[in-house]
A and B are shown apart, each in its own frame.
Chain A
């Protein structure tokens, strides 16, 4: 059996910096920087106003201290708030894209061509903060689906942006959401019109590149009546010494009968084995089941980032709406994760399912924090929550903080949680069948996560299993 340490000590595979001339503004944050961002992006006046308002609110807010994570204080004046790869003109095909950029994607194992051909996935690649290539756009256009970068949407569909931006996550929702609202540089926008089923998985790859650049993306997905869409998000980032802040906002709106499936694989740089460096991932994700019979489903696999602070939530406003949250969070070395969900039951017969699997190895700290709230009008609301933690290593820790607030008698809310390690019996059994200890661990961990993985789209499920193996092999000595 291979010793744990060897495998744990594996260096971050995707650590490299691509040298491209970047168009950056000096570090620091003030009204002028926000004006500059807005003008660089040629935004209409309402956007600038919205950003400035958010900035004002942000100034009055305090960084939250309740998550069970520790990090050195963040100096918000040292962050560069805007960085865009230099581009001469808008691009219509891959040939026009900077070859350095394309190489980077190849190293990441996600060449655009490959993606296009093999998986039928439309890829909107965000390199640092600006979208550089969008594929399958034409195809989607035929169906009336809008899938483009956020800045493009601001230019071309200002009415939609105006209507839905901030409708789920208000600009003053929390400290990081307010910061994002003030300075977000780009992101993705997706609009699926009434009755349309999006024929392909939509996907974006985010990547932090230019040194000291906080990345603040903003994603907005709107699914009109009876439509459905599945969205994938995945990320990797190069090695850095300094901590980098990543404060994204994702908003989902599902109207009557609409379905949105949002899947994430998060593999930001987690810092080295002493806990130095790594990304701070402070994300606000929320979906609103605005109409009857709508459904929003979050699936996440969180293996990276030094600190993760993230609670993809669903507001179940429409009657009979359904919210789901499936999560695997893995912390290793000195990684810290405080993640979970909020399910707010407002409408009648609303249902939610929470399935959270936490794995903590090394000095990792893994917390589940969730809220299930059933308001008085939410008759027959139903929630089932299960959160299991697996501890690998006696210096790791797992915490569970579920909040359950029920105001309706016909509601049924159940919460179950377990914490354990891989039992000697299980390992012994596997070994007695000729499976090496290491394979046994990997098998058991994958089995532990299976219920969540099976909710991932095919392409991601494969990647997720690989990712778990890489991150965990030998974590048991």
Chain B
């Protein structure tokens, strides 16, 4: 069982190892977070926020904490397939949550742009890291976030100075390798865009071996005035043995722009929390999501958009396709606070069920405390339109192709919103493969 006690042991080991290296503020942050974790424990379905996601299958494993780099490192060839073809730009690789300089290359980053490991940044750039660390992803309510915070150790640190820009996307690759049994890795990422800067970041999660593991990631994003970030998250964990829990906290300043694109392809159980605070006037966010859920998977997306100040805009589109015995959860909350005049919030969640055993729980939620707003939300669960299917068949397509075409169209609506060609094309290939896979599986049955 994965319980609090082994976590405590691992926590002590970590503290001892790093006693001399770590700045005192971090020590106390970790301690506070750990004691909060022991109070919170792991969530249960009795909690409203976890009503539809039971993490008990995850807790059955005895995960070992990943604190140091495995001795036998990976080679560049082994991870070659994890590159997105056609994507040029810096690539930071993390194995079991720890930075691997050997596998990474930052090339020539434009001036003012930093992309490094968090553990290094804690030492070399404490002035940039410390004021923002653990501020946008509060650990008071979520046991997993508290646990990650208690073990803040490594991850990516991206910083763009005032007015700087990075044309090419920065790719963060997280790989889990489990040669010596079940493992928990806890990357901690911090992305800070100073006023007027712009960047694109891709965060991808992959796995290598077939043992059980848990990725418990936390990413914090801070967008200062007029900053603009395109943020892609591609989750391709092991659909049989991989557990993925992640919290992304975003804080936006005046007129900043956040564009996010979240793709869930893998994981036996995924829980993704994306919390955006539109903290100043005129900030804008666009959240897109697509989840392809196959037999045996459970995918849960929670989003919170908090309109705190006037003239904020948020647009949200999450779509899911389910087959086999699978389960998807969507919970999107939009808050419009008393001050947030002229807020414009739109949220849509649509789900397509391709099997009799699939289930969806969706809960779009609006809490509005200002009258001068325009807010809408919609949710739908259904199957392919019989009329559209009939139309395609009448044009000579067979049943299978017609269904695939319609299903593809359903997902393409989201995929086409990806603004990086490499990501869009990769996803399209991925989607066709996913649809084909279904038929192969069907034939072998």
Interface residues of A (CB under 8 A from B): 66, 374, 376, 389, 391-421
The answer to whether the Cβ of B356 comes within 8 Å of any Cβ in the partner chain is yes
The answer to whether the Cβ of B353 comes within 8 Å of any Cβ in the partner chain is yes
Tell me the minimal C-beta distance from B166 to chain A in angstroms.
Answer: 38
Tell me the minimal C-beta distance from B301 to chain A in angstroms.
Answer: 14
Taken together as a complex, chains A and B put the C-alpha atoms of A70 and B323 apart, in Å, by 43
Instruction: Contacts A391-B373, A413-B380, A413-B382 given; indicate if A419 touches B360 (C-beta within 8 A).
Output: no
Which residue of B has the minimal Cβ distance to A410? B383
Tell me the minimal C-beta distance from A330 to chain B in angstroms.
Answer: 15
Could you tell me if A417 and B378 are in contact, using CB atoms closer than 8 angstroms?
A: yes
Q: Select the stretch in B196-204, B219-227, B364-372, B423-431 that faces chain A.
A: B364-372
Taken together as a complex, chains A and B put the C-alpha atoms of A398 and B380 apart, in Å, by 22
Could you tell me if B381 and A413 are in contact, using CB atoms closer than 8 angstroms?
A: yes
Could you tell me if B371 and A393 are in contact, using CB atoms closer than 8 angstroms?
A: yes
Could you tell me if B370 and A394 are in contact, using CB atoms closer than 8 angstroms?
A: yes
Query: Can you show 23 pairs from A to B with CB atoms below 8 A apart?
Result: A374-B381, A391-B370, A391-B371, A394-B370, A396-B369, A398-B366, A399-B366, A400-B365, A400-B367, A401-B363, A402-B365, A404-B363, A404-B381, A405-B359, A409-B355, A412-B381, A412-B383, A414-B378, A415-B377, A415-B379, A417-B364, A417-B376, A420-B375
Residues of B within 8 A of A374 (CB): 381
The answer to whether the Cβ of B361 comes within 8 Å of any Cβ in the partner chain is yes
Which residue of B has the minimal Cβ distance to A388? B376
Residues of B within 8 A of A392 (CB): 371
The answer to whether the Cβ of B413 comes within 8 Å of any Cβ in the partner chain is no
Residues of A within 8 A of B369 (CB): 395-397
Residues of B within 8 A of A403 (CB): 361, 363
Could you tell me if A406 and B374 are in contact, using CB atoms closer than 8 angstroms?
A: no
Instruction: Contacts A399-B366, A409-B354, A417-B366 given; indicate if A404 touches B371 (C-beta within 8 A).
Output: no
Taken together as a complex, chains A and B put the C-alpha atoms of A417 and B379 apart, in Å, by 9
Contact with A along B290-308 (1 / 0, CB 8 A): 0000000000000000000
Contact with A along B330-357 (1 / 0, CB 8 A): 0000000010010000000001011110
Q: Find B362's partner among A376, A398, A404 (CB 8 Å cutoff).
A: A404
Residues of A within 8 A of B364 (CB): 400, 402, 415, 417
The answer to whether the Cβ of B77 comes within 8 Å of any Cβ in the partner chain is no
Could you tell me if A418 and B376 are in contact, using CB atoms closer than 8 angstroms?
A: yes
Instruction: Contacts A404-B379, A412-B382 given; indicate if A397 touches B362 (C-beta within 8 A).
Output: no
Taken together as a complex, chains A and B put the C-alpha atoms of A400 and B362 apart, in Å, by 13
Q: A403-B361, A421-B372 are in contact. List 15 more A-B contacts (CB 8 A).
A: A391-B373, A398-B366, A399-B366, A400-B365, A400-B377, A401-B363, A402-B363, A402-B365, A403-B363, A407-B359, A408-B353, A412-B381, A415-B377, A417-B366, A417-B378
Taken together as a complex, chains A and B put the C-alpha atoms of A396 and B373 apart, in Å, by 12
Instruction: Contacts A400-B365, A404-B361, A406-B381 given; indicate if A395 touches B338 (C-beta within 8 A).
Output: yes
Residues of B within 8 A of A395 (CB): 338, 369
Could you tell me if A405 and B361 are in contact, using CB atoms closer than 8 angstroms?
A: yes
Residues of B within 8 A of A418 (CB): 375-376
Could you tell me if A406 and B368 are in contact, using CB atoms closer than 8 angstroms?
A: no
Tell me the minimal C-beta distance from A370 to chain B in angstroms.
Answer: 10
Contact with A along B59-80 (1 / 0, CB 8 A): 0000000000000000000000
Which residue of B has the minimal Cβ distance to A376? B356
* 3 closest A-B pairs by CB: A391-B371, A409-B353, A397-B369
Could you tell me if B338 and A406 are in contact, using CB atoms closer than 8 angstroms?
A: no
Residues of A within 8 A of B354 (CB): 409
Instruction: Contacts A411-B381, A419-B368 given; indicate if A406 touches B376 (C-beta within 8 A).
Output: no
Residues of A within 8 A of B370 (CB): 391, 394
Could you tell me if B365 and A420 are in contact, using CB atoms closer than 8 angstroms?
A: no
Q: Find A411's partner among B376, B378, B382 (CB 8 Å cutoff).
A: B382
Taken together as a complex, chains A and B put the C-alpha atoms of A319 and B363 apart, in Å, by 26
Majority secondary structure, A binding face: strand
Residues of A within 8 A of B387 (CB): none
Taken together as a complex, chains A and B put the C-alpha atoms of A316 and B12 apart, in Å, by 56
Residues of A within 8 A of B5 (CB): none
Taken together as a complex, chains A and B put the C-alpha atoms of A393 and B365 apart, in Å, by 21
Residues of A within 8 A of B360 (CB): 404-406
Could you tell me if B368 and A409 are in contact, using CB atoms closer than 8 angstroms?
A: no
Taken together as a complex, chains A and B put the C-alpha atoms of A133 and B321 apart, in Å, by 59
Taken together as a complex, chains A and B put the C-alpha atoms of A393 and B363 apart, in Å, by 27
Residues of B within 8 A of A391 (CB): 368, 370-371, 373
Residues of A within 8 A of B351 (CB): 406
Which residue of B has the minimal Cβ distance to A420? B374
Could you tell me if A414 and B380 are in contact, using CB atoms closer than 8 angstroms?
A: yes
Residues of B within 8 A of A376 (CB): 356
Tell me the minimal C-beta distance from A354 to chain B in angstroms.
Answer: 13
Taken together as a complex, chains A and B put the C-alpha atoms of A405 and B351 apart, in Å, by 11
Taken together as a complex, chains A and B put the C-alpha atoms of A412 and B381 apart, in Å, by 6
Q: Find B378's partner among A407, A412, A416 (CB 8 Å cutoff).
A: A416
Taken together as a complex, chains A and B put the C-alpha atoms of A356 and B430 apart, in Å, by 41
Which residue of B has the minimal Cβ distance to A409? B353
Residues of B within 8 A of A417 (CB): 364, 366, 376-378
Could you tell me if B381 and A394 are in contact, using CB atoms closer than 8 angstroms?
A: no
Instruction: Contacts A66-B48, A421-B373 given; indicate if A400 touches B338 (C-beta within 8 A).
Output: no
Taken together as a complex, chains A and B put the C-alpha atoms of A61 and B382 apart, in Å, by 38
Residues of A within 8 A of B353 (CB): 406, 408-409, 411
The answer to whether the Cβ of B358 comes within 8 Å of any Cβ in the partner chain is yes
Could you tell me if B380 and A397 are in contact, using CB atoms closer than 8 angstroms?
A: no
Taken together as a complex, chains A and B put the C-alpha atoms of A419 and B366 apart, in Å, by 9
Could you tell me if B363 and A406 are in contact, using CB atoms closer than 8 angstroms?
A: no
Which residue of B has the minimal Cβ distance to A371? B363
Residues of B within 8 A of A409 (CB): 353-356, 358, 383
Which residue of A has the minimal Cβ distance to B358? A409
Interface centre among B366, B370, B371, B375 (most CB of A within 10 A): B371
Taken together as a complex, chains A and B put the C-alpha atoms of A405 and B360 apart, in Å, by 6
Could you tell me if B368 and A398 are in contact, using CB atoms closer than 8 angstroms?
A: yes
Which residue of B has the minimal Cβ distance to A476? B371
Which residue of A has the minimal Cβ distance to B348? A416
Which residue of B has the minimal Cβ distance to A389? B368
Tell me the minimal C-beta distance from A378 to chain B in angstroms.
Answer: 12
Which residue of A has the minimal Cβ distance to B364? A402
Instruction: Contacts A66-B48, A415-B364 given; indicate if A402 touches B379 (C-beta within 8 A).
Output: yes
Tell me the minimal C-beta distance from A336 to chain B in angstroms.
Answer: 13
Residues of B within 8 A of A415 (CB): 362, 364, 377-380
Tell me the minimal C-beta distance from A33 to chain B in angstroms.
Answer: 33
Taken together as a complex, chains A and B put the C-alpha atoms of A397 and B372 apart, in Å, by 11
Residues of B within 8 A of A402 (CB): 363-365, 379
Instruction: Contacts A409-B356, A418-B376 given; indicate if A400 touches B381 (C-beta within 8 A).
Output: no
Residues of A within 8 A of B376 (CB): 416-419
Tell me the minimal C-beta distance from B202 to chain A in angstroms.
Answer: 32
Taken together as a complex, chains A and B put the C-alpha atoms of A403 and B377 apart, in Å, by 13
Could you tell me if A399 and B362 are in contact, using CB atoms closer than 8 angstroms?
A: no
Q: Find B368's partner among A397, A410, A411, A414 (CB 8 Å cutoff).
A: A397
Could you tell me if A400 and B366 are in contact, using CB atoms closer than 8 angstroms?
A: yes
Could you tell me if A394 and B372 are in contact, using CB atoms closer than 8 angstroms?
A: yes
Instruction: Contacts A404-B360, A404-B363 given; indicate if A419 touches B380 (C-beta within 8 A).
Output: no
Which residue of A has the minimal Cβ distance to B337? A397
Tell me the minimal C-beta distance from A15 to chain B in angstroms.
Answer: 29
Could you tell me if B367 and A397 are in contact, using CB atoms closer than 8 angstroms?
A: yes
Taken together as a complex, chains A and B put the C-alpha atoms of A9 and B90 apart, in Å, by 65
Taken together as a complex, chains A and B put the C-alpha atoms of A418 and B366 apart, in Å, by 9
Taken together as a complex, chains A and B put the C-alpha atoms of A391 and B376 apart, in Å, by 14
Chain B 104-123 residues near chain A, CB threshold 8 A: none
Tell me the minimal C-beta distance from A424 to chain B in angstroms.
Answer: 10
Which residue of A has the minimal Cβ distance to B328? A406
Residues of A within 8 A of B378 (CB): 414-417
Residues of A within 8 A of B365 (CB): 399-402
